[in-house]
Amino acid sequence: MKIKNITGSSKVSAKPKHFASWLQFWEHFAGQTLTRDKYWICPACGESILGSNFDGCHVQKVDSTDQKWYIVPLCDACNHRTDEPNVNVTLVSVADNNK
């Protein structure tokens, strides 16, 4: 799945309602936990990254009619990428924030 970061999403999207961070939001709905003191493979760059360096990033699908916003866990560097990486990871819809 090709994705792109939504630029400026930190300005337009406050923290999720029921979670301390968008990463925790993703963990809840994806049913996975990125333990902060363990290393995880970033789904965008493939690097082994410490869990505490992941962010819940706002992304959109590329080449899709689906324009919804999703959260995916990416490393801090990939959170600021402007290209369109391929990721193999669960996308959690930002709309779940209103449940």
Q: What is the contact surface with Zn ion in residues (CB under 5 A)?
A: 42, 44-45, 75, 78
How far apart are CB 86 and Zn ion at their closest, in Å? 12
Taking the C-alpha atoms of residue 1 and residue 94, their distance in angstroms, rounded to an integer, is 17
Q: In the complex with Zn ion, which residue's Cβ is closer, 87 or 94?
A: 87
Question: Cβ of residue 51: shortest distance to Zn ion, in angstroms?
Answer: 13
User: Least distance in Å: CB of 1 to Zn ion?
Assistant: 15
User: What secondary structure does DSSP assign to 20-49, as a single string?
Assistant: SSHHHHHHHHHT----TTSEEE-TTT--EE
Q: Phi and psi at residue 54, in whole multiples of 5°? A: -95, 150
Q: Which is nearer to Zn ion, 12 or 41 (CB)?
A: 41
Distance from C-alpha of 54 to C-alpha of 76, rounded to nearest angstrom: 6
Tokens standing for 73?
Answer: 């866990």
In the complex, the smallest distance separating the C-beta of residue 65 from Zn ion, rounded to whole angstroms, is 27
